[in-house]
Structure 1
């Protein structure tokens, strides 16, 4: 056989299976698979979480600040309703709570919860804005809109971190 024929034959033959490839994963390997490395996205996520915290100082409904909507101490004449308050609670729990927990533990599962929760809470925030626009009393203020934008950015960033899983 000539050299070119031998090369063609070698390429057609299936490669042998590495015996180490089928062995069970060790604890260290499993631990590595559970971890995430957000890289430079961690800085973006932390900055957006800070803006989300600052949104609680801005007006959300009429003159009521985000923290007043969160705690339920807004002026009763504003008739804030359930949806903005639900968004305030969930954006705090998911956007800040799960976000901080994900950055501290670097666990894939917690980051996945932050990503999926961020998508759900973003939708919830859009419904809260819609409910304020259709209430006929007072519409949403810029703090609520900015908080929804922050949650959307957080959801996208966490999805990218979870999807890449470096």
Structure 2
């Protein structure tokens, strides 16, 4: 083995490069299973009724005159697409993006539940269906999990 300074400098640069690459990635550990279960719950919620007899899928596709249309888009993006991308790539930026999107979707979901219970008249609204409640609970679980993962990033040295 040679002690050539150029070889040692090249080896040091390679080690530093691997360290920088590893610092950009997160390891969800056992939390990945909870995220996967929450994503599955979001997907199942789309076949359950959200408002009256209208399913989440009908709301998403615009076939139902239901109120939580914004939430249906938000939960699809924040509850399915971003978690899938973040778990596949495992980058901190996607973990933070998933956390922020989950926050926005959870606020939209709580407002959707509230909107289904209220109307402009004196009669109460149709109320939230089981699918809407499941979707909101799943997105709040995702919010908590993504915040824990995103906030666990070690300080750069």
After TM superposition, the score normalised by the length of structure 2 is 0.82
> Is the Cα contact below 8 Å between 1:35 and 1:108 reproduced in 2?
yes
Kept after mapping to 2: 8 A contact 1:70/1:88: yes
Cα distance in structure 1, aligned partners of 2:130 and 2:32: 26
Q: Which residue of 2 aligns with 1:151?
A: 139
2-structure distance, mates of 1:69, 1:92: 12
Runs of 4+ in 1 over 4 A off after TM superposition: none
Rounded to whole Å, the distance in 2 between the matches of 1:124 and 1:27 is 41
Q: Which runs of 5+ in 1 are unaligned?
A: 1-24
Aligned mates of 1:146, 1:165 — CA distance in 2: 30
TM-superposed deviation, 1:162 = 1.1
Say which of 122, 138, 141 aligns to 2:106. Answer: 122
RMSD: 1.5
Aligned to 1:40: 30
- Name the SS of the counterpart of 2:50 in structure 1: strand
Counterpart of 2:19 in structure 1 is: 29
CA contact (8 A) 1:119 1:155 kept: yes
Give the corresponding residue for 2:44: 54
| Residue among 72, 83, 90 paired with 2:74 | 90
Structure exhibiting the larger radius of gyration computed from Cα positions? 1
Q: Distance in 2 between matches of 1:94 and 1:86?
A: 12
Gaps of 5+ in 2: 1-14
Classify the secondary structure of the residue corresponding to 1:26.
helix
Deviation at 1:47, TM superposition (A): 0.9
TM-score calculated relative to the size of structure 1: 0.78
Count the aligned residue pairs.
136
- Give how far 1:106 is off: 0.5
